[in-house]
Amino acid sequence: MRYKLDKSSHSVYNLNYHLILVVKYRRKALKYEDVRNRLYEIIQKLINQYEVEIINMNTGDDHIHLLFKAKPKLCLSKFINILKGVTARYLRKEFPKLRKMLWGDSFWSDSYFIATTGQVSLDTLIKYIESQGKKEK
Give me the catalytic one of 3, 13, 25, 128. Answer: 128
Active site residue 90: no
Concatenating the DSSP letter of every residue in 68-90 gives EE--TT--HHHHHHHHHHHHHHH
- pLDDT score at 130: 83
Q: What is the pLDDT of residues 86-137, one digit of tens each?
A: 999 999 999 999 988 998 888 999 999 999 988 777 788 778 778 876 555 4
Split into its structural domains, the chain has a count of: 1
Whether 2 is in a domain gets the answer no
Whether 93 is in a domain gets the answer yes
Whether 64 is in a domain gets the answer yes
Residue-number span of the structural domain to which 72 is assigned = 11-131
CB 39 within 8 A of CB 64: yes
pLDDT band at residue 59 using 50, 70 and 90 as cut-offs: very high
Q: Assess whether pLDDT exceeds 90 at residue 17.
A: yes
CATH code assigned at 28: 3.30.70.1290
Distance CA 56, CA 78 (A): 21
Of 67, 73, 71, give the one whose Cα is nearest residue 52: 71
Whether 3 is in a domain gets the answer no
Distance CA 102, CA 104 (A): 7
